[in-house]
Amino acid sequence: MFEHWDSYFAMLGTAAGGLIGLLFVVVTLTSNFERSQALKGTSIYMTPTAIHFAAALSICAAALAPNLAPRTAATLMALPVAVGLANAVRAGVGIRGFTGQTGAVHWSDFWSYAAAPAVVYAALIVALGGVWTGKAWGVGALASGLLLLLLVAIRNAWDLVTWMAPQGSFDPHALTPPSEPEGRERPKRGR
């Protein structure tokens, strides 16, 4: 069923695996953050993003595994889809809860880190139904959904990096973080 898609799935899987490695580098940017703030942000933002990359990698690996029946492949692919969907929901709950506590979450966070991945995972469930039943459109839908998942995860990883990098150093003994240059305010974000 996946015989003409091997290059596509190999390319997406390689990209997902490489981006997981780069996400580990991004974690080093949190060294200037207070530990409880970094842990909360990691669980709401970083972990789901890493799981999206891992889901794409796992699904691509199952697609490239030789001699798998369509039902076996769909079953193997359903596990990372279920884990990814659960993490998208968890991120949404965390973002909503964080907004209620601090009001500092950017308006796009819920849509980018929770809603968009959840919609993509729902589309992947439909695609896996097509793969399960051996429908020709199932593989194309799966391939499209995986590309969308990878693009959403890349967008979210980029958002994390561009938010964390300019944070600069913070003196934990100071009552307030360093001030911004005249006329420039740092956007409020809940990470």
C-beta separation of 82 from 115 below 8 A: no
Whether residue 183 lies inside any domain: the answer is no
Whether residue 74 lies inside any domain: the answer is yes
Tell me the pLDDT tens digit for each residue of 73-101: 999 999 999 999 999 999 999 887 765 55
Distance of alpha carbon 182 from alpha carbon 160, whole angstroms? 25
Residue 32 confidence (pLDDT) above 70? no
Number of C-beta neighbours around residue 118 at 10 A: 18
* Structural domain for 123, as ranges: 3-166
Whether residue 88 lies inside any domain: the answer is yes
Q: What's the total number of domains in the chain?
A: 1
Which amino acid is present at 126?
Answer: V
If one compares 105 and 124, the residue with the highest pLDDT of the two is 124
- For 164, residues 6+ apart whose C-beta sits below 8 A from its C-beta are 26, 29, 30, 33, 191
Whether residue 176 lies inside any domain: the answer is no
pLDDT reported for residue 47: 86
pLDDT reported for residue 33: 62
167 to 40, 86, 110: CA distances (angstroms): 17, 30, 22
Highest mean pLDDT among 30-34, 148-152, 174-178: 148-152
Whether residue 139 lies inside any domain: the answer is yes
Mean pLDDT of 116-134: 97
pLDDT reported for residue 25: 78
